[in-house]
């Protein structure tokens, strides 16, 4: 299978082909995911919760992300790999460029940043310097203390309009992918239809161009609490590889996420 690229992901959106992605943190799972034709993998700062046992993503450092990015790259040499830039690692454009370089050297093809208008100049500078950027709107885990908890975003008409406007501004600044987290299905549809770059949903409904889940969630490993947008694919299959294959199949055919995994509105 030929290596995935940003151009191919964009072509998939144009052709109406859904994009399936998962978080990955080590070589073994990266190899497994690549064998099941996952379109791309994200080294998420969710590793703070899933790997390190922290209560949020805030303690994660750039060095942590770089370490796990290198491990994923070793396990899946040809995969398209995206790396999260963790909390306060991109407070200024200059800092963002310095820290993004570490992640690109570790094996990332793209970095992901959380936020809207305040990031526009940072995104322009990263892209100008050869660093592809995925933006992230909706629920922003790094801003959970400001948001007052893990809540669905963009429910009111004014908030939805503002999220759409910010999405368009992020694309104009040079972002080439956009993750949408915990927003109403109708807003996920509006944004996906308004942008030419692919949208990747996590709790953003079935109309996004692709879907992503935290790997531990889709295997049911955090069974004490599974968010509404998660499905335990391992419970349905009893086998890790089969669970990933089923996830990819259901994303591609559009049966996941269903209404029960989405937020109304």
pLDDT tens figures, 23-62: 999 999 999 999 999 999 999 999 999 999 999 999 999 9
Q: Is residue 116 part of a domain?
A: yes
How many independent structural domains does the chain possess? Answer: 1
Q: Is residue 1 part of a domain?
A: no
Residues of the domain holding 100: 6-261
Cα–Cα distance measured from residue 155 to residue 220, given in angstroms and rounded to the nearest whole number: 28
pLDDT at 230: 94
Cα–Cα distance measured from residue 111 to residue 81, given in angstroms and rounded to the nearest whole number: 9
Q: Is residue 244 part of a domain?
A: yes
Q: Please indicate if the annotation marks 26 as binding a ligand.
A: no
Q: Please indicate if the annotation marks 46 as binding a ligand.
A: yes
Q: Please indicate if the annotation marks 262 as binding a ligand.
A: no
pLDDT tens, residue order, the chain (265 aa) = 578 999 999 999 999 999 999 999 999 999 999 999 999 999 999 999 999 999 999 999 999 999 999 999 999 999 999 999 999 999 999 999 999 999 999 999 999 999 999 999 999 999 999 999 999 999 998 887 776 667 889 999 999 999 999 999 999 999 999 999 999 999 999 999 999 999 999 999 999 999 999 999 999 997 667 789 999 999 999 999 999 999 999 999 999 999 999 998 7
Q: Please indicate if the annotation marks 112 as binding a ligand.
A: yes
Cα–Cα distance measured from residue 50 to residue 56, given in angstroms and rounded to the nearest whole number: 10
Active-site positions? 181
Q: What are the b/e assignments for 187-212, b being 16+ CB within 10 Å? A: bbbbbbeebebbbbbbbbbbbbbbbb
Q: Is residue 238 part of a domain?
A: yes
Q: Please indicate if the annotation marks 192 as binding a ligand.
A: no
CATH code for the domain in which residue 102 is found = 3.20.20.60
């Amino acid at each position: 299978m030929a290596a995935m690229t940003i151009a191919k992901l964009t072509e998939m959106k144009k052709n109406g082909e859904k994009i399936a992605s998962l978080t990955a943190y080590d070589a073994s799972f990266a190899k497994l995911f690549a064998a099941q034709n996952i379109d791309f993998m994200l080294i998420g700062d969710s590793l703070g919760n899933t790997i390190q046992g922290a209560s949020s993503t805030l303690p994660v450092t750039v060095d942590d992300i770089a370490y796990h990015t290198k491990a994923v790259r070793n396990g899946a040499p040809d995969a398209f790999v995206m790396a999260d830039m963790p909390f306060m690692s991109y407070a200024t454009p200059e800092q963002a460029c310095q820290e993004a370089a570490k992640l690109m050297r570790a094996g990332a093809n793209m970095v992901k940043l959380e936020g809207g208008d305040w990031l526009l100049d940072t995104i322009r500078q990263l892209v100008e310097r050869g660093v592809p950027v995925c933006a992230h709107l909706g629920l922003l885990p790094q801003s959970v203390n400001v948001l007052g908890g893990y809540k669905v975003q963009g429910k009111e008409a004014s908030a939805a309009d503002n999220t759409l406007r910010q999405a368009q501004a992020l694309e104009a600044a040079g972002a080439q992918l956009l993750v949408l987290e915990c927003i109403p299905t109708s807003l996920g549809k509006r944004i996906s239809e308004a942008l030419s770059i692919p949208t990747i949903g996590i709790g953003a409904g079935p109309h996004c161009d692709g879907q992503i889940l935290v790997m531990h969630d889709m295997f049911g490993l955090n069974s004490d609490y599974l968010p509404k947008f998660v499905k335990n694919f391992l419970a349905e299959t009893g086998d890790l590889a089969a669970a990933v294959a089923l996830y990819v199949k259901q994303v591609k055919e559009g049966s996941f996420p269903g209404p029960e995994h989405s937020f109304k509105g």
